[in-house]
Structure 1
């Protein structure tokens, strides 16, 4: 530190930015200075609230940045003559150093918040990639299963193929050149268990050709239907099926 005025060290002390010798000297001053004690308490309360915004450790260089910032501003100790015009509600003692330190703390919090956001984005991407990988593996297992059977039909301006593996109790639907559903609508797949219809997942409304791993086990389904439903799907079909496929023998 380049300053020897202990009144200007309240913020640095609250942020643990003083080395051992400086901290010991300031604590001796603090024992007899109520004004500095009040400022230290305020700084600690403020930094505690700011710390709630981020749990990311600040970079090692942040201490040096804070100390450099402090030495570049004019520091006014308590008791100095106030400026002629003071805005209502602004504390007069130690103003410049308070704002410099506050700016440094805010920069540290912003850095931490950015790091958290970047980490969360990377974690989301990793989870999506893992999910895509698992779906691709499940699709390959059904399509390559020794007991896989298929049935195809023309539908919605294109063609659809149902592939079922009884051994794995899973089914895959392959769409080729199907017309896109109306805006705000989606194709929904269904297993027909006798009179009961069980949702087997949604197709991508923006693609006419796609391969879909149908949701849930095949069970005792007798056939598969495709209906046009509101975006997000329905609990039960709300329209006549655009296609019906018997389970392949």
Structure 2
């Protein structure tokens, strides 16, 4: 049951859980720092998507909406989704955000090219993250010593993994770098980006078939060719 609850953080962050799942997950969330960090990361990413799509509406839109309300038929009450559909709803919310941006463009709301690119990149990143989290073979593994330090959700089917960290902040001269370890040695998977001093953006990485561990080390910025310091977190994939 606990493993099932860990997998609900994405749907919880997007308010896509039915009442019975919501109550159980919130009870679990109180005592799970790893899930707290993951929920915060998803909410930050979702907020960035919303901010990227936000635009000043054209004159007259408010009046048009208010006049339309009286002519729109109210939908019949719908039951809450099952457990099986909760994750699908979380991914659908990402697509709905992109659709909202397209509708805004159709209403004449102009979007700067750079802002469109940033929105598209953020939407694509979150969509790929949700694909890994919702994969049928998704497996969650934690740091060997402290479960709140790092979590890796890996999908061999998709050949990708999502790395989530709850590590302490570093001085500007250093950065946390993620390494994929296996028989062929250590390969850099990139560096973690700070959302806040205590929160790191989920990192989506390609997962070579021979990878059996994921390590995070503190390296001189902007990163190293090979690890130069002991691992701040080590996750065994099994």
State TM-score, norm by structure 1.
0.46
Rg comparison, structure with higher value: 1
Structure of higher RCO (CA pairs closer than 8 Å, 6+ residues apart): 2
TM-score (norm 2): 0.48
